[in-house]
Amino acid sequence: MPTASFSGEFRTELRRLLAWRRDVRHFRPEPLPAGTLERLLELACLAPSVGLSQPWRFVLVEDAGRRQRVLDSFLICNREALKACPTDRAGRYARLKLAGLQEAPHQVAVFCDEATDQGGGLGRRTMPEMLRYSAVLAVHTLWLAARAEGIGIGWVSILDPACVHEALQVPAPWSLVAYLCVGYAVAEDDVPELERAGWERRCPLKQFILQR
């Protein structure tokens, strides 16, 4: 039976990879080499999924008109979010760059196929949301695989899912999980941009642990 072991050096590098994964907003314009994005998506498909359902669906958004409709949705939603922002944070919010939609050479919409038969429904009768969680794991796997090759990803969530669904004309049972900007980052940092901008900070582990 095949086995796998990982060296201390590998574990150190994995720790560095996790620390240097960033939500990228500033992209260089040059596209990835041919076949790179598809190869990264193959790695994303190694993510765990409930019942081996593999519910993730990747839409490569290349059409300029469709991209513009997504950008329009972002601009509308971002204005609404700014209006709803507490007064003490509104100024900081307005200064944040929250999407790389106009710079990133590649855009990938990740959907969850809520009607997939794969997996035979195993593990999701009482928690049907496990399908979407599985798609999120594929996003995270893609993110790490890309960062390992010096490629940045930015997750855009300030969007109307219905508008994206209509713009991309995907099947009705597909629900939007993530809209990703992909490309080479202008700069790299091991500190989150939101932390550097004074929006929020990371919390210590003890804040997330509850003992019973």
Note whether residue 177 is domain-resident: yes
Residue 53 lies in a domain: yes
Q: Dump strand ranges (E) for 38-173.
A: 56-60, 106-113, 152-156
pTM of the model: 0.95
What the block records as the tokens of 207 is: 């804040």
Domain extent at residue 125: 23-185
**Structure confidence at residue 41 (pLDDT):** 99
Which of 159, 50, 160 is closest to 114 using CA atoms?
A: 50
What's residue 87's pLDDT?
A: 86
Question: Is residue 37 in a domain?
Answer: yes
In-domain check, residue 102:
yes
Helix, strand, coil abundance in the chain, percent, nearest 5: 40, 15, 45
Block means of pLDDT (10 residues each) for the chain, length 212 residues?
A: 91 97 96 98 99 99 98 96 90 87 97 98 97 99 98 97 98 98 96 91 96 96
Q: What is the CATH number of the domain that holds 136?
A: 3.40.109.10
Task: Assign 3-class secondary structure to 79-99.
Answer: HHHHHHCCHHHHHHHHHCCCC
The single-letter code of the amino acid at 174 is W
Q: Domains in the chain: how many in total?
A: 1
- Domain-embedded: residue 116: yes
